């Protein structure tokens, strides 16, 4: 016990000024090599991409055209984050207020209410609030049509060549 404490004490003692302290050897770099595909994936189309290796590791029907689902929500949030501040108030229009919600019990935005961008983003991303998406789109672009144009332009900038918002 005393020996362990003495070794710990020596290891924690700072090096004298001007002394060179050697660092432990770095671990080897991770090398990506082909691996067997997962035994079972319960999805109609899927892909697993390695950002570090800049390559697809596995995929099945990854290029198949599919409904966009949350890609629309994420693109809306991206454009809002790029073009507005979180504490900016947003007046809710009749158009946003009349947009159908996704499910019973979901928070609604009502005409004349003032929500902040942050509150609407939370409603959009957590609750999938369609009405919040419309309010944010109108806040950024004035109209839904102009916002859709902005979405398609940004998708093209991001290299999303097979993506089209309507």
Q: Catalogue the active-site residues.
A: 70, 73, 128
Give whole-number Cα distances, 126 to 28, 29, 73, 77, 92, in Å.
40, 38, 10, 11, 19
Name, in order, each residue with C-beta under 8 angstroms of 163's C-beta and a sequence gap of 6 or more: 68, 71, 155
Q: How remote is the C-alpha of 97 from its chain's centroid?
A: 26
Cβ(101)–Cβ(130) below 8 Å = yes
By residue count, the chain amounts to 166
Q: Which two tokens stand for residue 52?
A: 């570090």
| Residues paired with residue 115 on neighbouring β-strands, in sequence order | 90
**In this structure, are residues 45 and 61 in contact, taking their beta carbons and an 8 Å threshold?**
yes
Per DSSP bridges, beta strands 89-91 and 114-116 are antiparallel
């Amino acid at each position: 016990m005393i020996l362990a404490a003495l070794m710990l004490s020596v290891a924690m003692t700072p090096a004298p000024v001007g002394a060179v302290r050697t660092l432990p050897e770095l671990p080897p770099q991770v090398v990506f090599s082909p691996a067997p595909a997962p035994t079972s994936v319960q999805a109609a189309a899927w892909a697993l991409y390695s950002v570090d290796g800049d390559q697809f590791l596995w995929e099945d029907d990854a290029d198949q055209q599919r409904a966009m689902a949350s890609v629309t929500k994420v693109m809306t949030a991206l454009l809002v984050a790029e073009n507005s501040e979180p504490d900016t108030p947003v007046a809710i229009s009749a158009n946003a207020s009349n947009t159908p919600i996704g499910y019973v019990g979901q928070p609604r935005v009502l005409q004349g209410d003032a929500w902040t961008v942050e509150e609407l983003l939370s409603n959009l991303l957590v609750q999938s609030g369609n009405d919040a998406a419309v309010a944010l789109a109108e806040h950024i672009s004035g109209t839904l049509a102009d916002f859709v144009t902005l979405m398609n332009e940004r998708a093209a900038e991001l290299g999303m060549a097979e993506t089209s918002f309507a």
